[in-house]
Amino acid sequence: MAEPTLDADNACAGFTLVEMLVALALAALIGVMLAQALSLTGTMAGVSARLTGAEEVQAVRDHLRRTLGDLAPRRPDGTLPAFVGASDGLAGHLAANRDLERDAEQRLALRAVPGAAGLDLVEGRQPAQALATDAAASPPERLLGGLASLELRYFGSPAPRQPPQWFAGWSRRDAAPDLVEIRIGFHAGDRRRWAPLLVPVAVRP
């Protein structure tokens, strides 16, 4: 009686131990490569977010330098536009500048207001002759959002012939401060950074 024989297809149906080990090694290698790719994607996204936040902060810093530098100095008739500074905001007058399509002085208000994710730094402008309740006045513009804190300080002489010093507020009517320091804090986990900003006041001709 003849013994049963295995046909060729049945003989090749299974995997050898070596083939299984090679397949597992390839799967592990693919897994490592995928993990590295995902990690790199996350890193790139984090770098992109940091760069975007840094660009936003730098744009606001440049804007504040220009704006406070454009505050009106003493007028030809000897009068000084009002400037009032508090720890959380300031108000002053922007000088007329035809190059910037500003034919007359404008009232400027810079302050922090509650926002959706903390405090918002906003800037309001309106013609100097307009009433505070004028409905035609443009709404404040949001410069920077999601702040944890805003602190302003003022450097200048508190009275004629007195040495300048730092103040938490400014109310001297016959002179504006020489410098304004702007400190902004962000919430924990926010990747934006703000170094203290010192801005000379009314330095543009």
Domain boundaries, the chain: 57-200
The pLDDT confidence band at residue 141, using thresholds 50, 70 and 90, is very high
Over residues 106-113, mean pLDDT: 93
What's the pLDDT tens digit per position in 9-57? 555 556 687 778 888 888 888 888 887 767 656 555 444 445 578 899 9
pLDDT, residue 13, reads 54
Write down the mean pLDDT value for the chain.
82
What mean pLDDT comes out for the span 87-109?
83
Q: Give the pLDDT confidence score for residue 30 in this predicted structure.
A: 86
pLDDT digits (tens, 9 = 90+) for 145-170: 999 999 999 999 999 899 999 999 99
Query: What is the C-alpha to C-alpha distance for residues 113 and 101, in angstroms, rounded to an integer?
Result: 28
The average pLDDT across 102-130 equals 88
